Amino acid sequence: MMNEKERPKCPLIGADSNIFYLIGLASRSLKRAGMPKEAWEMAFRIHTEAEDYSQAFVIIGEYVGLSSREDEHE
């Protein structure tokens, strides 16, 4: 698990709740932050470990800081 300072912000709050869309948003945020390895690792873990939406969302939260679209503009 990454520490709080390492996790890039990701505008998941208020986003479409489709888990594949959320994985894409989180992956894009990680790649923009120069963390492509973590993006791959997050997606792999979700596909191999998560048994439901809640578990997938917890894994996403281990890699990115949850924010809203409004937070990105601050």
Asked whether residue 2 is domain-assigned, the answer is: no
Q: Which amino acid is at 16?
A: D
SS3 68: strand
| Residue 39 included in any domain | yes
Within-domain flag for 3: no
Number of domains comprising the chain: 1
Tell me the pLDDT tens digit for each residue of 57-68.
Answer: 999 999 999 887
In a domain, 4, yes or no: no
Confidence of residue 16 (pLDDT cuts 50, 70, 90): confident
What is the percent of the chain where pLDDT is above 90?
A: 65
Record the pTM: 0.81
